[in-house]
A and B are shown apart, each in its own frame.
Chain A
């Protein structure tokens, strides 16, 4: 008899050896306040009611679980797509920002800060701040601001102040540093809405729980389609890992369900231009948690690369580091080219333009064979509108 491993966070904030809260003392009161309150607040019936109501009426949940017939025929498996791309603002990110804005209000905060890479989390944060009438400041790398002009415009229209991160490589990692510095300088009235399943405890757990609505819905939706709650496989792309965390959550302790995590290989895992953290990363500390991250031998955090801005992060959430280390999840790496082709294929076969992040998850069917009766649920985490320019450039459309 083998003991069933626990994949959830423990009372000290760790997933196995990963997680914790490696933060400067200046952040301790903020993070501690959140740690002491988040579970209590989330358990309040009033909170749950408001959260569920907004997810239904404002976000448009439940998102469909769609049986992709032509894709299934092509790859000879039963492929379902969890349509997070149909959410308001176009991705799964809003599940978390709705939850955190309600949390911030319960904690009496009236100033919201966030980091963003491609701008999806920034837009989702600006959206809920507008909804609640709260001040919103979004940190975004100077380079990303130039690359993602439409999302910058969206955030501004929604009333957010977009502050360029000018330090380091001027991308997501540096935007996160700037948001953390803002929080250090504004310790009393500000809540930091982290957009991924990273950061100091309790963030990875809190974000995972807000995103877990994805797998909660998959269970009953799959039951309607297939007469069973558990698929054979759940598949999601991983940058920091929030859509993956939500997609896996209710299946973590279901041994029949295989978990596949898809990382961005960029130009190739060994090319020097990659974001495949599970292969290239080592244990270390990034943005307040112990996890796997890409770094030099000297412990300096390095710059990842992926065509997809949402996967272009040098670390991975601590829960995923644990799933990797324990072997609970199978990690696969997909290159830019493979992802772009898979994205176009979905357009052709199913009439859906996916976000390039999600295209990585779709690309595994070219690499891995399934049995005809295997039920494979893929998280289609976002829609491709934001990536049109990339698609146009890549395919010379």
Chain B
């Protein structure tokens, strides 16, 4: 258990710092290399400038099993544009000169596995990446094989839970986590459902009452101010992915401020 309580002399991970702020957090996912190969740094800088609290940088994969059509299409295009793990790291190498909010890489396990998990984590640490979300790396495999590597490089690994996840397993995931828990709002792929019903609010309340040590951030089904407000009533923050990728598809990257202010209702 003590490996889970990472209290060492190094300064606190940016994710943990952010989670301590007294506000509801907005996290945005985008697919790196989309719509154009060199948009990565611009998108990150714009998101921060417009008040986003945390960013998930999507490392595209040929076979994204947990994603719906929007993120699949953006991943396919990003790969066509020439995005690779190597290219992404190159694009991000100076990102910490201009950006200070937490940055998380979200991607599937195979590209990381091919890069070498240790080398991948080391590179993330050098760049200033704070955490990883890897939907198809199961909790037990992570715990057994990779947790020490992640921790050595100061990376927080974020796990998902769904309405079908048992209480026992949620407690287990909570015990392994040291940042936040990614609370998937409904059993679905990304972008499949919009909005929340009775079932979701009951689920959010159930998790809220479990007194977990890690705060929860809701993802899947959040696309506008209404759903953002709903989700953050029960959780520390919310993640928007498909809706943002759709916005970029339709409007390009010059109007990111419009999208973000519509979510935060600054207008």
Contact = CB atoms under 8 A, between A and B. Distances in A.
Interface centre among B63, B84, B112, B114, by most chain A C-beta atoms within 10 angstroms, is: B63
B208 interface: no
A236 B164 CA distance: 40
Contacts of A366: none
B231 to A, nearest CB: 18
Contacts, number: 115
B189 interface: yes
Given A181-B68, A300-B62, A23 B110 contact: no
B160 interface: yes
Interface stretch (B10-18, B20-28, B134-142): B134-142
Contact of B164 (A187, A283, A298): A187
A144 B184 CA distance: 33
Given A23-B138, A25-B135, A25-B162, A184 B187 contact: yes
A284 B116 CA distance: 11
Given A181-B189, A299-B111, A24 B84 contact: no
A20 interface: yes
A296 B90 CA distance: 19
A188 B162 CA distance: 13
A297 B114 contact: yes
B29 interface: no
Interface residues of B, number: 42
B188 interface: yes
Interface of A: 20-26, 28-29, 167-168, 173-174, 177, 180-181, 184-188, 282-288, 295, 297-302
Interface of B: 61-66, 68-69, 72-73, 76, 79, 84-86, 108-115, 135-139, 141, 159-162, 164-166, 169, 184, 187-189, 192
28 contacts: A24-B136, A24-B160, A25-B139, A25-B162, A25-B184, A29-B162, A167-B76, A168-B62, A174-B63, A181-B189, A184-B189, A185-B188, A185-B192, A187-B162, A188-B187, A283-B113, A284-B113, A285-B109, A287-B65, A295-B110, A297-B114, A298-B111, A298-B115, A299-B85, A299-B113, A299-B115, A300-B62, A302-B62
